[in-house]
Each structure stands twice: as C-alpha cells, then as structure tokens.
Structure 1
C-alpha cells in the first residue's frame, strides 16, 4: 500500500498507478481460486470487466475484474 499526502491507497503492482483509497476498502475477507479478493466501495484509474457470478471460497458472488487504466494489468 502506498501513501500520497497522508492518504494511503492501493496501487497497481505493475506500474504503481493509484487504484483505490484505503478508506474505500470494504473487506479483505474474500478468497478466489487465484488468491485474495478485495471489495471496494470505489475505485479509480481502472477499466471494469464484465460482471459475472463467480464461486469464491466464501460463496458465489457477482463480481467484476478490474484492470489498470495505465498498463492493463489485472
């Protein structure tokens, strides 16, 4: 997690583009087959993928992958 002017935020692993403020994090208690899945109330600098029902370890949820608007990484 990075910090800009005292506001911690989540950033893209590849290019460090800011994606979501820490205050917009709702939960880190979700797990997908690929690992941790976070829920945010708001994100920025992202392209939102198609909504789909996906079975996570904690149940079936309607989710969408997000991609960095700068480099396109998930």
Structure 2
C-alpha cells in the first residue's frame, strides 16, 4: 500500500477521527451543524484533510445529489460524505463540502487539555499563589490608605 503521510493540523483546536484520532479539520472550517430531533447528527466542513474518497454515487430524493463517501486515511473508517453536485437550490450550500457524522468525530482542543497529572497540579499551586498575592496587595493598599488618613488627622 505504500507509506502513509498524514497532514498535521497544528496550531489550533481541531476535530479528529473517533477511531484513531487522526486530525481531520480545524474548528474554523466548521460551517454548519445538523440536528435531527434535537440531537446533533452531522457536521458540515469547508475543508478536511487525511481522508480518501470512495466511488462517486448518486442519490435521488427531492434533489439529485452526487457524492463520494469519505474514509479516514489511517484507519479506513467511513466518516461521511463529500457532496459533488446538488440539483436543489435549497441544498446548494452543501455542494463541494464535507458532511461528517457526529459519531465519527472528536473535538480536540489543543495539547493543553491532555491530562498528564503534572501541569494541572502545578497550575493549581500557581493560581493559589496568585490569589494570595492579590489578597496581600489589597491589604497593603488598605493599610496605606489608613496611614494616609492618620497622617492627615495628625497634621490638623
């Protein structure tokens, strides 16, 4: 099959394959979320990476829709569709876009969210120190204000 090359989507929050966590799209490339019965079913993207296309197929309903199924390039899992052409004006906004099933995609919000157990504890300690410093600064400001009042009263 050859060597597998993955496109890295570093530098932002992204969506990845549920099955193998291969990066698929940046959050900024999300166009539309589809809901059925109040439940999120698919996400429509302007651009995705690390996918390959199945054969072109047609579906006839209220419109003639030509599409390709899209698969994860790493694990081969079916992710959704890429719409090639749509005859109905009502759905033209989907033409050329990628429709990925919600169940097949994960939201990855950067490397900082990974739980390694070390940074979180260190961050908590730093936050506590910052809160103590803020409290001490407020007390110092109050003490300075009280001293100024006392000096003013002595001058009178």
User: TM-score, normalising length from structure 1?
Assistant: 0.65
Answer 1 or 2: higher relative contact order, Cα 8 Å, separation at least 6.
Answer: 1
User: Structure 1: 5+ residue runs without aligned partners?
Assistant: none
What does residue 73 of structure 2 align with? 69
Q: Which has the larger radius of gyration?
A: 2
- What is the root-mean-square deviation in Å for CA atoms of aligned residues? 2.9
Gap change, CA 1:48 and 1:9, over 3 Å in 2: same
Runs of 4+ with >3 A deviation: 50-55, 59-64
What is the aligned counterpart of 1:23 among 16, 19, 28?
Answer: 28
User: Structure 2: 5+ residue runs without aligned partners?
Assistant: 1-9, 79-156
- Richer in strand (by share): 1
CA distance in 2, matches of 1:9, 1:36: 18
Gap change, CA 1:17 and 1:23, over 3 Å in 2: same
User: TM-score, normalising length from structure 2?
Assistant: 0.35
CA distance in 2, matches of 1:30, 1:63: 21
- Richer in helix (by share): 2
